[in-house]
């Protein structure tokens, strides 16, 4: 899977200001990180190749398990897809995916990839939710990826001989270019990094940053990770270090917790509302 990530300062320009008080680069990085996290969890993906010239994105996504392919400066999005495809293992199926899918569910991506593999010899693509753009393009071994991402890319890919995939896959089709797209992705369930930034923004606006509360929706005692359902209905994932910082030994479903956020919007601690 090839995932190009622009330099963060230039990425997602139409999304600038979607989360006031959240630095734009943080939001762009969160979208990419949650996309790569979901791809890494997809059982049908053997390797994730992130094509980027941004040092911070490369460091974070490399730590997350992606192979970093240095981007060619000013070459553009389609050149980045071609560059990443050229670095893929010989004889492998190759797919290109946009880096702005913060609600992506691994199972939906796996279903789309299985559908594409059911028609060997043909390039396939998945259009975005409006139907005019493209979020996923796949190609079998020996066939060039031939990306046509950009404005009107769904029609461009179809004109190039690629066939559309018609599955529903709402989280796969929900790319984020605008504030309205981000709101739609939130209703599907944002990945942990983007959700944390959105939560930090709401906390800042409400003036209750350290007093955010929610109930435990899921908790895995082995990984020490879980998901909270905040009072506004948002799901917010918390990592193992946030649980470790709580001083608690176990959590039960439905338990009320307070959430403490770090300066970048990350969850740094979950604990009982009565604890200091």
Give pLDDT, residue 149: 97
pLDDT at position 208, please? 40
Is 207 within the bounds of a domain? no
Helix (H) or strand (E) holding 196: helix 192-206
Same-domain status, 138 and 42: yes
pLDDT of 207 reads: 43
For 167, the 3-state DSSP assignment is coil
* 263 and 150 in a common domain: no
In this structure, the number of other CB atoms found within 10 A of the CB of residue 215 comes to 13
pLDDT digit string, tens, across residues 183-237: 999 999 999 889 888 876 665 554 444 567 889 999 999 999 988 887 767 778 8
Residue 173 counted as domain residue: yes
Domain range enclosing 24: 2-202
Q: b/e for 74-93, b at 16 or more Cβ within 10 A?
A: eeebbebbbbbbeebeeeeb
* The pLDDT value given to residue 232: 66
Mean pLDDT of 243-260: 91
pLDDT for residue 63 is more than 50: yes
Which position has the higher pLDDT, 264 or 173? 173
Tell whether 115 and 91 lie within a shared domain: yes
Q: Given a cut of 70, is residue 264 above it in pLDDT?
A: no
Give the model confidence (pLDDT) of 18-52 as tens digits. 887 788 999 999 999 999 999 999 999 999 999 99
Q: Are residues 19 and 144 in the same domain?
A: yes
pLDDT for 198 equals: 81
pLDDT band at 275 (very low <50, low <70, confident <90, very high): low
Give me the pLDDT at residue 195, please.
86
The owner of tokens 């604990």 is 271
The answer, yes or no, to whether residue 152 has pLDDT greater than 60, is yes
Angle at which helix 55-63 crosses helix 24-40, to 10 degrees, equals: 30
Domain termination site, one of 183, 202, 221:
202
Contacts of 220 (CB under 8 A, 6+ apart): 226
120/62 Cα distance (integer angstroms): 31
Whole-model pTM? 0.79
Average pLDDT over residues 158-174: 97
Mean pLDDT over 79-88 rounds to 96
Structure tokens at 14: 């139409």
**Mean pLDDT across 74-88:** 93
- Is the domain of 192 the same as that of 236? no
Q: Tell me how far apart the alpha carbons of residues 149 and 137 are, in angstroms, rounded to a whole number.
A: 9
Same domain, 159 and 24: yes
């Amino acid at each position: 899977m090839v995932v190009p990530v622009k330099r963060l300062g230039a990425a997602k320009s139409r999304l600038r200001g979607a989360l006031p008080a959240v630095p734009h680069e943080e939001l762009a990085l969160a979208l990419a990180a949650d996309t790569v996290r979901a791809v890494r969890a997809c059982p049908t993906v053997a390797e994730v190749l992130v094509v980027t010239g941004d040092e911070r994105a490369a460091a974070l996504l490399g730590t997350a398990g992606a192979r970093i392919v240095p981007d060619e400066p000013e070459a553009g999005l389609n050149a980045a897809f071609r560059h990443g495809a050229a670095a893929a293992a010989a004889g492998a199926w190759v797919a290109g995916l946009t880096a702005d899918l913060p609600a992506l569910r691994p199972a939906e991506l796996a279903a789309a990839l299985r559908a594409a593999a059911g028609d060997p010899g043909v390039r396939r693509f998945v259009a975005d939710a409006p139907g005019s753009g493209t979020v996923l393009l796949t190609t079998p071994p020996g066939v060039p990826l031939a990306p046509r991402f950009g404005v009107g890319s769904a029609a461009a890919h179809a004109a190039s001989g690629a066939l559309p995939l018609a599955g529903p896959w709402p989280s796969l089709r929900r790319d984020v270019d605008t504030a309205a797209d981000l709101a739609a992705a939130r209703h599907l369930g944002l990945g942990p990094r983007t959700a944390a930034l959105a939560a930090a923004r709401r906390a800042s606006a409400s003036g209750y940053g350290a007093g955010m509360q929610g109930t435990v929706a899921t908790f895995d005692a082995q990984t020490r990770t879980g998901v909270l359902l905040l009072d506004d209905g948002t799901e917010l994932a918390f990592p193992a270090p946030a649980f470790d910082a709580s001083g608690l030994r176990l959590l039960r479903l439905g338990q009320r917790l307070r959430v403490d956020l770090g300066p970048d919007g990350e969850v740094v601690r979950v604990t009982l509302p009565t604890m200091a």
